[in-house]
Amino acid sequence: DVQLAGLVVDPNFVWKKQTVTIAFLNGDYKERLEFRKIYFEWFKCSHIHFIEAPLNQSADIRVGFGLDKGRSWSLIGSLSTEYSVNLTSGKVYRDFKRDFHPSMVIASVSRRSILHEGGHSLSAKHEHGHALANISWHPYFTNGKMFPQMTIDYIQNNYLQTFPLNQSLGPFDKKSVMLYKIFPAMTTDNFSSNLNEDISMNDQFYSSQIYRHFFDNDYKQCEKKIYPGKSNVQIALECYTTWYTQCMRFVRDGEFCEHHRNPWKEYQYFLWVKNETLPLPYRRVQTNGTIIVIILLLVLLVCICALLVWQHRRLRRIERYLTSPGQQLSRSEL
């Protein structure tokens, strides 16, 4: 059986509205463009319509680059519509204006940082806090002696905090982009994990189920176009262009959006989301496994047929030997 891994999400801060505005506190054109390209990967599995807005328009998410001493962080989901972080005091406060302090800080424009903090901004929490992770942390790590630069509060809040089952979707996912790098020495059972730089298929699967209604909003007109006489390929090429439209709206890089434009794949992805099936890689594994089983069965069938033919010929020889006393057959002929 294929077991799906999950995602840790706070349902209280899942976005209720489909259009979410993002403003930048700083950063040059290149940094902002790179951020938009990478962050937009979350659109595929959420169908949240991201729009860049001026800072003075109280954007839902306020992004800053390198503003917090080399640290990256983000408020969880829709919390950013009400709160910001005062970088001077380091405290979270109720922000009615939302035009000065950030709700997300990226230490450097890197794929891992943007996707990880982007996951937080969509309400995802740290995967190692999954209710089923069962990580046995080493006391030498939890007491702060292993990494003196980490405070006890930091370790408690970012590593040791665990979340209830109603926030832990599916089993624990070692490939999640929301997982920290964990060294074997940090645990008593040599558990370790990598610093994942991609949104895993399980991150995508459960994000898409949380925001499933946004998919329906975007494709409801496409669903109406399905009628006899028109192929799915035609429908896909004509209608499933939401990704490209939103890419041009948020990323605003024609070459990038055109290069990744693929209405047919967008249609297939929506079918996957709508049918709530296994993530695509697992489906391929299952398909490959099925093919292997079929091949093995065919080989077995051929072997059985060959054995039956050989047995039939042997019985014919024995029968001829028994009915013809004067005829001698060698042992090899039998």
Residue 35 lies in a domain: yes
Residue 237 lies in a domain: yes
Residues 225 and 135 in one domain: no
| Count of the separate structural domains present in the chain | 2
Residues 120 and 248 in one domain: no
Q: Measuring CA to CA, which residue among 210, 201, 198, 175 is closest to residue 9?
A: 210
Domain of 154 in residue numbering reads as 7-203
Residues 170 and 228 in one domain: no
Q: Which long-range contacts (CB under 8 A, 24 or more apart) does 320-324 make?
A: none
Segment 6-53, tens digit of pLDDT: 567 888 999 999 999 999 999 999 999 999 999 999 999 999 999 999
Average pLDDT for 282-289: 43
Residue 64 lies in a domain: yes
Q: Which amino acid is at 219?
A: Y
Segment 193-235, tens digit of pLDDT: 999 999 999 999 999 999 999 999 999 888 777 666 667 778 7
Residues 143 and 193 in one domain: yes
Residues 173 and 239 in one domain: no
Residue 56 lies in a domain: yes
CB-side exposure of 41: number of CA atoms within 13 Å?
Answer: 21
**Sequence-ordered alpha helix ranges (H) in the chain:** 29-39, 41-44, 111-121, 139-142, 152-155, 201-210, 212-224, 232-239, 242-250, 254-259, 263-275, 280-323
Q: What is the dihedral of CA 139, 142, 143, 144, to 10 degrees?
A: 130
Residues 144 and 73 in one domain: yes
Beta bridge partners of 22: 52, 61
Residues 232 and 103 in one domain: no
Q: Measuring CA to CA, which residue among 197, 177, 182, 183 is closest to residue 8?
A: 177
Query: Rounded to an integer, what distance in angstroms lies between the CA atom of residue 213 and that of residue 224?
Result: 16
CATH of the domain at 164: 3.40.390.10
Residues 196 and 216 in one domain: no
Residue 300 lies in a domain: no
Residue 328 lies in a domain: no
